[in-house]
Amino acid sequence: MKAQTAPLTPDAPIVHALARGVCPICTLMRAFQNAMIESPRLYPAKVLCNFHAWSLVGASPAIEAVPILRSMLHEFSAMTSDEPVELHPCDWCTTVREHESEKLGEYARELKRDNFREWVSQYGTLCLFHGRRLMEGVPQSDAELVRRIVSTNQHDLENQLTAFEARVRRGERGGGGVLGHITEYLVSQRGLTR
Ligand SMILES: [Zn+2]
Ligand SMILES: [Zn+2]
Protein backbone atom coordinates (compact mmCIF):
# COMPACT_ATOMS: atom_id res chain seq x y z
CA MET A 1 0.00 0.00 0.00
CA LYS A 2 2.85 2.34 -0.86
CA ALA A 3 2.99 5.12 -3.41
CA GLN A 4 2.87 3.73 -6.92
CA THR A 5 6.26 3.53 -8.60
CA ALA A 6 5.96 1.12 -11.55
CA PRO A 7 3.03 1.18 -13.98
CA LEU A 8 0.26 -1.19 -12.96
CA THR A 9 -0.28 -4.33 -14.99
CA PRO A 10 -3.80 -4.72 -16.42
CA ASP A 11 -4.55 -7.52 -13.95
CA ALA A 12 -3.03 -5.80 -10.90
CA PRO A 13 -4.83 -6.46 -7.61
CA ILE A 14 -6.64 -3.64 -5.87
CA VAL A 15 -4.05 -3.39 -3.07
CA HIS A 16 -1.44 -2.31 -5.65
CA ALA A 17 -3.64 0.62 -6.62
CA LEU A 18 -4.18 1.99 -3.11
CA ALA A 19 -2.67 5.44 -2.83
CA ARG A 20 -3.75 8.56 -1.03
CA GLY A 21 -5.90 10.96 -2.98
CA VAL A 22 -6.85 8.70 -5.90
CA CYS A 23 -9.70 6.27 -6.47
CA PRO A 24 -8.13 2.80 -6.87
CA ILE A 25 -10.97 1.53 -9.06
CA CYS A 26 -10.38 4.42 -11.49
CA THR A 27 -6.62 3.76 -11.38
CA LEU A 28 -7.08 0.09 -12.27
CA MET A 29 -9.55 0.90 -15.05
CA ARG A 30 -7.08 3.37 -16.51
CA ALA A 31 -4.29 0.78 -16.34
CA PHE A 32 -6.51 -1.77 -18.04
CA GLN A 33 -7.60 0.69 -20.72
CA ASN A 34 -3.98 1.71 -21.35
CA ALA A 35 -3.08 -1.96 -21.82
CA MET A 36 -5.88 -2.30 -24.40
CA ILE A 37 -4.61 0.69 -26.31
CA GLU A 38 -0.99 -0.51 -26.15
CA SER A 39 -1.78 -4.09 -27.24
CA PRO A 40 -5.09 -4.03 -29.11
CA ARG A 41 -4.42 -7.44 -30.70
CA LEU A 42 -5.31 -8.92 -27.31
CA TYR A 43 -8.68 -7.13 -27.27
CA PRO A 44 -10.39 -7.68 -30.63
CA ALA A 45 -13.31 -5.39 -31.41
CA LYS A 46 -15.87 -4.95 -34.14
CA VAL A 47 -17.35 -1.72 -32.84
CA LEU A 48 -15.54 1.10 -31.03
CA CYS A 49 -16.89 4.37 -29.65
CA ASN A 50 -15.44 7.73 -30.63
CA PHE A 51 -13.00 7.82 -27.71
CA HIS A 52 -11.66 4.30 -28.20
CA ALA A 53 -11.48 4.50 -32.00
CA TRP A 54 -9.39 7.67 -31.78
CA SER A 55 -7.23 6.18 -29.03
CA LEU A 56 -6.60 3.16 -31.27
CA VAL A 57 -5.65 5.30 -34.24
CA GLY A 58 -3.65 7.82 -32.25
CA ALA A 59 -1.82 5.66 -29.74
CA SER A 60 -1.82 1.97 -30.71
CA PRO A 61 0.82 0.31 -32.91
CA ALA A 62 -0.48 1.00 -36.44
CA ILE A 63 -0.15 -2.63 -37.53
CA GLU A 64 -2.44 -3.69 -34.67
CA ALA A 65 -4.98 -1.01 -35.52
CA VAL A 66 -5.40 -2.38 -39.06
CA PRO A 67 -7.33 -5.60 -38.27
CA ILE A 68 -9.65 -3.79 -35.86
CA LEU A 69 -10.45 -1.05 -38.36
CA ARG A 70 -11.02 -3.76 -40.99
CA SER A 71 -13.44 -5.61 -38.67
CA MET A 72 -15.24 -2.35 -37.99
CA LEU A 73 -15.60 -1.65 -41.70
CA HIS A 74 -16.98 -5.17 -42.25
CA GLU A 75 -19.31 -4.89 -39.31
CA PHE A 76 -20.79 -1.63 -40.49
CA SER A 77 -21.02 -2.69 -44.13
CA ALA A 78 -22.96 -5.79 -42.99
CA MET A 79 -25.57 -3.68 -41.21
CA THR A 80 -28.74 -2.82 -42.99
CA SER A 81 -28.97 0.87 -43.72
CA ASP A 82 -31.97 1.43 -41.44
CA GLU A 83 -30.33 -0.24 -38.43
CA PRO A 84 -29.46 2.43 -35.82
CA VAL A 85 -25.69 2.57 -35.29
CA GLU A 86 -26.28 3.32 -31.58
CA LEU A 87 -27.59 -0.22 -31.08
CA HIS A 88 -24.04 -1.50 -31.37
CA PRO A 89 -22.17 -0.81 -28.15
CA CYS A 90 -18.40 -0.30 -28.14
CA ASP A 91 -16.63 -3.61 -27.48
CA TRP A 92 -13.84 -1.94 -25.52
CA CYS A 93 -16.28 0.04 -23.35
CA THR A 94 -18.02 -3.26 -22.59
CA THR A 95 -14.69 -4.92 -21.68
CA VAL A 96 -13.66 -1.99 -19.48
CA ARG A 97 -17.07 -2.10 -17.72
CA GLU A 98 -16.61 -5.82 -17.02
CA HIS A 99 -13.19 -5.09 -15.54
CA GLU A 100 -14.75 -2.34 -13.42
CA SER A 101 -17.36 -4.76 -12.03
CA GLU A 102 -14.65 -7.31 -11.21
CA LYS A 103 -12.60 -4.69 -9.38
CA LEU A 104 -15.61 -3.42 -7.43
CA GLY A 105 -16.25 -7.02 -6.36
CA GLU A 106 -12.61 -7.38 -5.31
CA TYR A 107 -12.78 -4.15 -3.28
CA ALA A 108 -15.92 -5.42 -1.55
CA ARG A 109 -14.16 -8.70 -0.67
CA GLU A 110 -11.04 -6.87 0.56
CA LEU A 111 -13.18 -4.87 2.98
CA LYS A 112 -13.44 -8.08 5.01
CA ARG A 113 -9.69 -7.99 5.65
CA ASP A 114 -8.65 -5.91 8.69
CA ASN A 115 -5.52 -4.38 7.11
CA PHE A 116 -7.36 -3.23 4.04
CA ARG A 117 -10.33 -1.96 6.01
CA GLU A 118 -8.15 0.04 8.38
CA TRP A 119 -6.10 1.59 5.59
CA VAL A 120 -9.08 2.69 3.52
CA SER A 121 -10.99 3.97 6.52
CA GLN A 122 -8.02 6.23 7.34
CA TYR A 123 -6.66 7.22 3.95
CA GLY A 124 -9.04 5.80 1.36
CA THR A 125 -10.25 7.77 -1.63
CA LEU A 126 -13.12 6.87 -3.91
CA CYS A 127 -14.69 8.85 -6.69
CA LEU A 128 -18.39 9.56 -6.30
CA PHE A 129 -19.42 7.05 -8.98
CA HIS A 130 -17.37 4.14 -7.63
CA GLY A 131 -18.33 4.99 -4.06
CA ARG A 132 -22.00 4.78 -5.02
CA ARG A 133 -21.53 1.55 -6.95
CA LEU A 134 -19.78 0.00 -3.95
CA MET A 135 -22.47 1.11 -1.52
CA GLU A 136 -25.08 -0.63 -3.65
CA GLY A 137 -23.26 -3.95 -3.61
CA VAL A 138 -22.02 -4.47 -0.06
CA PRO A 139 -23.63 -5.29 3.33
CA GLN A 140 -24.95 -2.43 5.46
CA SER A 141 -21.89 -2.01 7.73
CA ASP A 142 -19.51 -1.92 4.73
CA ALA A 143 -21.82 0.50 2.92
CA GLU A 144 -21.62 2.76 5.97
CA LEU A 145 -17.80 2.69 5.86
CA VAL A 146 -17.81 3.51 2.13
CA ARG A 147 -20.28 6.33 2.76
CA ARG A 148 -17.92 7.77 5.40
CA ILE A 149 -14.92 7.54 3.03
CA VAL A 150 -16.79 9.35 0.26
CA SER A 151 -18.14 12.04 2.56
CA THR A 152 -14.67 12.64 4.09
CA ASN A 153 -13.26 12.98 0.55
CA GLN A 154 -16.01 15.43 -0.34
CA HIS A 155 -15.45 17.50 2.80
CA ASP A 156 -11.66 17.68 2.20
CA LEU A 157 -12.17 18.72 -1.41
CA GLU A 158 -14.64 21.44 -0.44
CA ASN A 159 -12.06 22.85 1.98
CA GLN A 160 -9.34 22.66 -0.66
CA LEU A 161 -11.59 24.43 -3.15
CA THR A 162 -12.29 27.24 -0.71
CA ALA A 163 -8.55 27.65 0.00
CA PHE A 164 -7.83 27.54 -3.73
CA GLU A 165 -10.44 30.21 -4.46
CA ALA A 166 -8.91 32.49 -1.80
CA ARG A 167 -5.44 32.06 -3.33
CA VAL A 168 -6.75 32.82 -6.82
CA ARG A 169 -8.54 35.93 -5.58
CA ARG A 170 -5.27 37.12 -4.04
CA GLY A 171 -3.70 36.73 -7.46
CA GLU A 172 -1.57 33.72 -6.54
CA ARG A 173 -0.87 31.10 -9.14
CA GLY A 174 -0.45 27.36 -8.84
CA GLY A 175 -2.41 24.82 -6.86
CA GLY A 176 -4.50 23.99 -9.92
CA GLY A 177 -4.19 20.31 -9.05
CA VAL A 178 -7.13 20.89 -6.71
CA LEU A 179 -9.46 21.39 -9.67
CA GLY A 180 -8.26 18.12 -11.19
CA HIS A 181 -8.82 16.23 -7.94
CA ILE A 182 -12.33 17.62 -7.61
CA THR A 183 -13.10 16.71 -11.21
CA GLU A 184 -11.81 13.17 -10.65
CA TYR A 185 -14.05 12.91 -7.62
CA LEU A 186 -17.09 14.14 -9.57
CA VAL A 187 -16.75 12.31 -12.88
CA SER A 188 -13.98 9.69 -12.30
CA GLN A 189 -10.48 9.90 -13.77
CA ARG A 190 -9.96 11.44 -17.18
CA GLY A 191 -10.67 9.21 -20.15
CA LEU A 192 -13.08 6.77 -18.46
CA THR A 193 -16.22 6.93 -20.56
CA ARG A 194 -19.70 6.02 -19.31
ZN1 LIG B 1 -13.30 5.88 -9.32
ZN1 LIG C 1 -15.59 2.71 -26.04
pLDDT the model gives residue 5 = 60
pLDDT the model gives residue 175 = 74
Which residues are within 5 Å of ligand 2 (an ion), measured at CB?
49, 52, 90, 92-93
Report the alpha-carbon distance of residue 59 to residue 142 in Å, rounded: 39
Distance of CA 79 from the midpoint of ligand 2 (Å): 19
pLDDT the model gives residue 49 = 94
pLDDT the model gives residue 122 = 96
Run means of pLDDT, 10 residues per run, the chain, 194 residues: 67 94 96 96 95 96 96 87 78 96 97 97 97 96 97 97 94 86 95 84
Question: Which of 5, 4, 19, 74 shows the shortest CA–CA distance to 45?
Answer: 74
Q: Which residues contact 88 (CB under 8 A, 6 or more apart)?
A: 46, 47, 75, 79
pLDDT the model gives residue 78 = 81
Helix axes 91-110, 128-137, angle to 10 degrees: 60
Which sequence spans correspond to the domains of the chain?
14-187
